[in-house]
Amino acid sequence: MEPGEALRVLEAARAGGLEAIAAAGTLEELEAAKVAVLGRKAPFTEVQRSLGSFGEDDRRRIGRVANEVRGALQAALEERRAELARIEEERLLRADAVDVTLPGRRPRSGSLHPLTIVERDIVEIFTRMGYRVAEGPEVEDDWHNFEALNIPPDHPARTMKDSLYIDVDGLLLRTETSAVQIRTLESQPPPVYVVAPGRTYRREAVDATHLSVFHQVEGLAVDEGLSFADMKGTLEAFARAMFGERRRVRLNPDYFPFVEPGAQVAVSCFVCDGAGCATCGNGWIELLGAGMVHPRVLENCGVDSERYTGFAFGMGIERVAMVRYGVSDMRLFVEGDVRFLEQFQGAA
């Protein structure tokens, strides 16, 4: 390569390189322009490799021009790189910008679980009657869960409950919240008016109407002069508050070892008002068990059964929720299907 040709190549590299750099619209295009004007195969690099073939004066003159061209191209590259980076940053900022003049988006509201709604409503009804809420442990001993409730070791009622025992002798997961009644009577003298909501456990076969882990609300009233009529009036007031003012209560004899007499309580169907329909079948919906507290239960807790009488009742929250909301399968309450739970938004 002749010295004159080398100078022409350098000037062409300067002009073409500055033009390519200025035309680059992205950082990727700018990097391609850099390779084209200063890379190993670029004309500028070819001139640098040929400097050794020139005389001393030509080498100095061409080398000085080559340095000027490299400096100009590198300065243009840095300037364009900074400009492109600024443009990209501005683009990202525009994309992320929030228009504060737009109306806001209201977040999707959650809701209470239907079992929580029903439990809260049941408790609220009884607290308005003067009852207070009592709580107890979910891991119980044999005395509070069975014997104090008139269920001795050989009692057939124990086989009805299919208890779940734990690794500590004499302890089990409570089969019903009736144990809270015993703990309450042991801790305070009458009068006693309490409701005890909570989780209970049984070795049940899970199906549309049974769960192995479910929820109950137990009620207990112990005072002087309480009668079966007081119990019926209390449960009738509850049914009307829970299901509507037109509800009626029906009591059929039933057996529970901790009450005598015992009764199965049904309410008139809120769909057909007792006429009979697909929901109830015969106009009545079974709701809970109840009865007058067995004198032996009172004596087990140190309460004088000659002076005091009482009544107790217990209901499954899942069953009340099924009646209230027309749910046909109890398992829906525990499966966590959002489509099912979304139907209760605004129910609380």
291-346: pLDDT as tens digits:
999 999 999 999 999 999 999 999 999 988 988 888 888 899 999 888 888 888 76
Model pLDDT, residue 346: 61
CA dist 274 and 247 (Å) reads: 9
Average pLDDT over residues 132-155: 92
Residue with tokens 């709701």: 287
CA dist 51 and 197 (Å) reads: 96
- Greater confidence (261 vs 38) lies with 261
pLDDT band at residue 160 under the 50/70/90 scheme: low
Average pLDDT over residues 128-150: 94
pLDDT band at residue 279 under the 50/70/90 scheme: low
CA dist 127 and 68 (Å) reads: 93
Model pLDDT, residue 315: 93
Model pLDDT, residue 336: 87
CA dist 22 and 183 (Å) reads: 87
> How is 59-109 classified by DSSP, letter by letter?
HHHHHHHHHHHHHHHHHHHHHHHHHHHHHHHHHHHHHH---TTSPPPPPPP
Comparing CA positions, the residue from 221, 206, 234 lying closest to residue 318 is 206
Question: Judging by DSSP bridges, how do beta strands 284-293 and 259-268 pair with one another?
Answer: antiparallel
Q: Which domains does the chain have, with CATH numbers?
A: 3-96 (no CATH), 114-344 (3.30.930.10)
- Greater confidence (38 vs 229) lies with 229
